Amino acid sequence: MVEENYYADRDKENNLKIRKLLREELPKLCGEYFIGVQTRTTPLTRLGYAQDLCVFFDFLFKEVDDFASCDKDNFTYADLDRVTASHIEFFMDYLSFYTYGGREFSNTLKTKSRKLSTLKSFFKYYYNKDRISANPAAKVATPKIKDKPILRLEGDEVGKLLDLVDSDTDKNESSKRLISFREHTRKRDLAILTLFLGTGIRISELVGLNIADIDFKSKAFKVTRKGGAQTILYITDEIAAALQDYLLEREAEGLIEDRPALFLSLQKRRITVRAVENLVKKYASLITPLKNITPHKLRSTFGTGLYNQTNDIYVVAEILGHRDINTTKRHYAAISEQIKKEAAEKVQLRGKRDKKDE
């Protein structure tokens, strides 16, 4: 089997993208920052930082009169020291709607918060290095983001989704257009959705899986988490059967030995994140058209179901790979109205009283 390291290749690609942005779009002084944070961030995180900073400096040079004479080639530490909290607050408002690279963008509060987090890290680094006399980003309040209800599939919707993918024919008129396409992808798609719903792994973790990562004898598989750490997760007989059916189909087509990736595209290459997002949306929209179901929503479906079954937030956090238990609590430990009602009915202030005592 040909060796392939999806994560190493992804890191290499992201590092090349960062270098291109540093070379072509960002002020030269930014290079110091990216070297400084390299040991504690992943290439994917640093690429996000670089893209956020590109938008910030494009705004600074084009929208702020104080920096009208600056560009990426002549921007100095002295210029960086002239950036104020007001400039950053102006930038936060600008993010509501702006044009960058010939395209129009609008940002939600969550996206604005992420970009502000980038600026806080950026200015903190240079302040700690005594490159600037003050840290203006520290004076800007982070937008308050309201928690949204968890969007997920309900129990009957999970069954309907898997039945739709697994069916040989379609009685539903709206899904007939999928028949010819699905003849070539049915077993693969069923394996993907079953693995998502049965383990709660992230889309990047699923795309990065190799055949060699699956141990059917132990009903376990090795997954590479965010940051590169690896862990072992376990699968049910149902998940194992879906994966084995798909691999038997691949073996019959001669697509095993020279292609280590677990899930392949129709072009016989490792499936992409975008392709997985599209197939999830394609099937889920036929089952529940009012819900915008994404791979992350399938992860939420698993996490919520696991918490309801175990009532153990630490187990949920461990299996989902959350570094911060508060993340798990915030998303999966919300008590439903029904649970609160049932709990209230169990409370008896004076105990049961026999009618004869009244």
The domain in which residue 129 lies consists of: 6-139
Inside any domain, residue 91: yes
Residues 185 and 280 in one domain: yes
Residues 112 and 218 in one domain: no
Domain boundary residue among 104, 139, 174? 139
Give the catalytic positions in this structure: 202, 226, 296, 299, 322, 332
| Dihedral in degrees, nearest 10, Cα atoms 164, 167, 168, 174 | -20
Residue 354 CA to residue 358 CA, distance in Å, equals 7
Inside any domain, residue 176: yes
Checking DSSP bridges between strand 220-224 and strand 230-234, what pairing results, if any? antiparallel
- DSSP-derived secondary structure letter, 99: E
Inside any domain, residue 74: yes
Inside any domain, residue 20: yes
Inside any domain, residue 345: no
Inside any domain, residue 322: no
Give the model's pLDDT for residue 177.
54
Inside any domain, residue 351: no
Residues 234 and 162 in one domain: yes
Query: Does residue 349 sit in helix, strand or coil?
Result: coil
- Per residue in 129-164, pLDDT (tens digit) is 999 999 999 999 998 877 677 788 987 899 999 999
Nearest CA among 252, 249, 247, 254 for reference residue 213: 247
Residue 165 CA to residue 298 CA, distance in Å, equals 15
Residues 175 and 285 in one domain: yes
Structural domain total, the chain:
2
Residue 115 CA to residue 88 CA, distance in Å, equals 11
- DSSP-derived secondary structure letter, 216: T
Domain boundary residue among 308, 328, 343? 308
Give the model's pLDDT for residue 146.
76
Residues 191 and 265 in one domain: yes
- The owner of tokens 């930082």 is 49
Residues 58 and 102 in one domain: yes
Show Cβ contacts of residue 117 under 8 Å, excluding neighbours closer than 6 positions: 142
CATH number at residue 226: 1.10.443.10
Residues 175 and 291 in one domain: yes
Can you read off the two tokens belonging to residue 98?
A: 């702006």
Residues 93 and 178 in one domain: no
Residues 172 and 284 in one domain: yes
Show Cβ contacts of residue 223 under 8 Å, excluding neighbours closer than 6 positions: 201, 205, 209, 213, 230, 231, 232, 233, 321
Backbone angles phi, psi at 233, to 5 degrees: -120, 160
Residues 180 and 293 in one domain: yes
Contact in structure between 300 and 152 (CB atoms under 8 Å)? yes
State the pLDDT confidence band at 323, using cuts at 50, 70 and 90: confident
Contact in structure between 273 and 261 (CB atoms under 8 Å)? no
Residue 117 CA to residue 111 CA, distance in Å, equals 10
The distance from CA 239 to its chain's CA centroid, rounded to whole angstroms, is 22
The distance from CA 151 to its chain's CA centroid, rounded to whole angstroms, is 15
Residues 244 and 167 in one domain: yes
- Read off the pLDDT of each residue in 250-257 and give the average, rounded to a whole number: 83
- Per residue in 196-250, pLDDT (tens digit) is 999 999 999 999 999 999 999 999 999 998 878 899 999 999 999 999 999 999 9
Domain boundary residue among 115, 139, 163? 139
CATH number at residue 96: 1.10.150.130
Residues 61 and 96 in one domain: yes
State the pLDDT confidence band at 26, using cuts at 50, 70 and 90: very high
Q: Is the model's pLDDT at 337 over the cut of 50?
A: no
